[in-house]
Chains A and B, each alone.
Chain A
């Protein structure tokens, strides 16, 4: 009996001397104390990781059948979906997965807005997260261009030409990005390389850094108070529980719910009424026929609405870049003492509510044609979007300093 244990222990000892498996699990999972008052908003971090892995796996299989290039891309996608066993599920899984990735990431970001998770000491955690978001936008954009549908073509035309608005170097830069005088083979092949090799590596690296930074500063929580400040006799946070098994088990519930919703969309409404896959992209790229109205996929439309709202191309592109870049400065624009919205005044709550609504309205406007009332609304909501960032330093300073509880708010179930 003891011999068996010894053998087992022997292997573990042998392994751990060479690879710190137990140490890693203790540091990252069983010994990582997370606040015990997490709510539903805290599902989306682990879900983002899940979708990332799903995209990697489905992407590997799509790459097995995909032939990048002006003349081959479209046909290879049609062929894999129609003729290769089960690729009719795996390819849409990749396409639908992109939209779900952004749903999860936007909810994950909204959580940070609600509970001030970007505030000190988590500024870098937030900045790394935003870099992931930027890399993800590039990844999603290129992935959308690859099948070379008509919306791929014209969407790429619009987005690449944004770089042409940079004074001086613009026109040369656009030619350099495309590798041709128009979108062609060179463009599609380099996008393939970036989409399949470079950006997934960069995203994986950033996700790793995001987790390392999180372990360093610890998770925030809905009360926005630091659990590390109230330690028990054992030196562990009084309001903390080990990530494993408590949160791994909780996250599995989130995974189950998420996969259920994902499966329903994938199997029954994969185009999601034209929002996840746009109808002009069901015909091949046609350089002589612009779709009636060009709209990017829903997750880019808030910024697209801002771009179109400005009656000057350079200013429009600049404001669009600013609208994305503004996220990076959030930790330093929010000057409240308290993190969580729970312990901020009415003005802060209204301001944040306005921002969420503005983001959603701009998202809707970016899907609509740029005419009449829509343009006027886009202009109003563009002003509101930036008003959030301009007002935040003052509002947060004024009413974000009320009393906070000593310990996290928690009701046992």
Chain B
């Protein structure tokens, strides 16, 4: 440094005070930045109208014959409703060994549909028709022994995108890229042939 520097009296720097002030300023700034990010991040959540469009959907089952499937929409997702025949139901327990999650322990369904048939009423199967792999629509392949799907095919759903296979309770077969059974939405039956998607059965359990 030059000689003049010595002439200027420099007050001694209080290092600990400086460190504290730097840390306090930076800390306050960081908290402020995080709080400011909240509205921006939260603005990406579904809007009120998107939520409103997610209200329950009513489906009339009176014209759904045994063995048939109808599709509907709830929350922008396809809903599959299948009226299962006694033969279809009888086939369900026969292939538990070939399934990834036969008892639906890992899979996503309301408690009242977590049973062998994955349904409130065994004849009516309600599924979210979105492949649990990556969201394609599994196609109905109800004809048993369809060798184009797989050997000893019991009937069920086949996803054309990545080849996941599900049985007639939406349970996923081993060897599929999907790991979980097809999801089941909350639903209930306000009447014999009336199905509501998005509403749980009432406390009495008769739905």
Contacts and interface: CB of A to CB of B under 8 A. Distances in A.
A186 B137 contact: no
B161 interface: yes
B77 A181 contact: yes
Contact of B161 (A158, A160, A181, A316): A158
A190 interface: yes
Contacts of A310: 177
Contact of A186 (B50, B71, B78, B160): B50
A367 interface: no
A161 B135 contact: yes
A93 interface: no
Contacts of A371: 163
In the complex, which of the residues B45, B71, B162, B175 has the most CB atoms of chain A within 10 Å of its own CB atom?
A: B162
B137 A288 contact: yes
Given A181-B54, A312-B177, A313-B179, A292 B135 contact: no
Interface string B60-100: 00000000000100011110000000000000000000000
Contacts of B174: 311
A332 to B, nearest CB: 31
A379 to B, nearest CB: 12
Interface stretch (A32-40, A171-179, A275-283): A171-179
A311 B162 CA distance: 10
Nearest to A180: B50
Given A177-B44, A312-B177, A313-B178, A184 B50 contact: yes
Nearest to A315: B179
Interface residues of B, number: 29
A23 interface: no
Given A158-B136, A316-B177, A290 B45 contact: no
Task: State the majority secondary structure of interface residues on B.
Answer: loop
B160 to A, nearest CB: 6
In the complex, which of the residues B75, B133, B137, B174 has the most CB atoms of chain A within 10 Å of its own CB atom?
A: B133
Given A180-B46, A181-B54, A293-B160, A157 B135 contact: yes
Nearest to A372: B163
B206 interface: no
B137 A290 contact: yes
A294 B46 CA distance: 27
A287 B136 CA distance: 9
A292 B160 contact: yes
A234 to B, nearest CB: 35
A182 B45 CA distance: 12
B46 A179 contact: yes
A180 B76 contact: yes
A162 interface: yes
8 contacts: A154-B136, A158-B135, A181-B50, A181-B77, A182-B76, A308-B162, A310-B177, A313-B134
Contacts of A158: 134-136, 161
A312 B50 CA distance: 32
Interface string B127-141: 000001111110000
Contacts of B25: none
A179 B75 CA distance: 12
A138 to B, nearest CB: 15
Contacts of A80: none
A32 B132 CA distance: 55
Interface string A139-167: 00000000000000010011011101000
Contact of B163 (A181, A190, A314, A375): A375
Interface string A48-70: 00000000000000000000000
Contacts of A290: 136-137, 160-161
**What are the 6 closest A-B residue pairs judged by CB atoms, nearest first?**
A182-B76, A181-B75, A161-B135, A158-B134, A157-B135, A181-B76
B149 to A, nearest CB: 11
